[in-house]
Amino acid sequence: MGFSKRKIWFFVGIALVLLVFLTLLMAPSSNRLTVGSTYGRSPDGYGAWYVYMQNRKTPVFRWQKTFAELVDSQEKNITLLRVNSRLSSGRLSRQEIDWIGKGNRLVVLGIRNQVTEAPFSSLLKSNLGGVKIETSRRLKVGERKEEKSLLEDTFGSAVWQKTIDKGVVINSVTPHLGANAYQNETGNYEFLAQLLSQENQQIFVDEYMHGYRDKTAKTAQSRDDMFSYLLKTPIFTAILQGVIVFVIWVLAQRRRWGKPQSLTVPGLDNSEAYIRATAGVLEKAEMGNFVIELLEKEERLQLQKSLGLGSELLSSKALVSAWVSQTGKPASELSSLLEMNGKKAKISKGYLKNWLEKWQRVRLGLFKG
């Protein structure tokens, strides 16, 4: 099957568009690492908030090592800030729970809770002024004593805290509480500053999770399997692109794995077609009685031949007598069938079907006898 150059270029263009789209889709996004970083200058970065804290004379330290190293450092009375944390459900590890229980504080911005009917952009009231958040997610606080709402509206809590032994974990539904985009929202920066500045603890910002590594930081051990490794390399992208090109080529050829085979057209049964056409004409003409007369004549001839009475039509009485003598069955079984013809002016499909079924039972009774 040949294709014109125009069709070939059409399929090539589709393949290129898909490859570009796939490349953009699977390209690693470095923006995810900079969201919430104090080094970030983009609207979702926290660079302006970091400067605000310095001008406020509140020292903030950038932690660029693993959390395990923070635990091993024996530093006490620490408030650790995590922005856009991977703890999307708010679950903590045993190591984090033990660390908080010793009197430390963990502040996590970006917990994904249930979406409510709250407007996406809201200005929530606080003692420090209006705090702008842009999310419809909220949490219902108050069912457990260890939870306390710190910023809320009628739809639920946007910021809340939970007590763990001697320490506290504070969660926020938005990761952009102190983002650069909210520099003009003074309530946001001061509200976050007050959250972190309580109890005179040292304030650390987790920059390790944003990709910033101290030269002395330990590398976390990875247990990724081969498939996970390939997902992170260009090899997987190349394989997937190859599969897409192959699928497009198969569709362009309009065949699967072999040469095209012509379909065999089933032969037309002229006898069956003639019978069906005749039956349709007789049905529309409502000639049911005529059909029964023809069928009864043929059925009687076939019955006479089976009884050895020849091919000349006999009277109904003679046929019934021969039927009884050879089969031993009651005469009413056949005589009632012979009397059915002509009783109805209009023959329905149900009547015709019932009449044919009775003739069939007569033939079967004859062969069984």
Q: pLDDT for 176-192, tens place per residue?
A: 999 999 998 889 999 99
Three-state secondary-structure class, residue 81: strand
Contact 97, 164 (CB under 8 A): yes
- To 5 degrees, how large is the angle CA 287–CA 289–CA 291? 75
Write out pLDDT tens, residues 129-167. 899 999 999 988 765 667 889 999 999 999 999 999 999
Number of structural domains (the chain) is 2
Residue 230 within any structural domain of the chain? no
Tell me: do 59 and 196 sit in the same domain: yes
Tell me: do 159 and 40 sit in the same domain: yes
Tell me: do 213 and 100 sit in the same domain: yes
Q: Please state the φ and ψ torsions of residue 351, each to the nearest 5 degrees.
A: -65, -45
What is the DSSP-derived secondary structure letter of residue 125? E
Of 203, 218, 233, which one is at a domain's C-terminal end?
218
What confidence score (pLDDT) does residue 224 get?
A: 44
Higher pLDDT, 191 or 245: 191
Domain of 101? 35-218
- Strand (E) positions, 196-332? 202-206
Contact 179, 40 (CB under 8 A): no
What confidence score (pLDDT) does residue 179 get?
A: 94
What distance in Å separates the CA atoms of residue 245 and residue 44, rounded to the nearest whole number?
Answer: 38
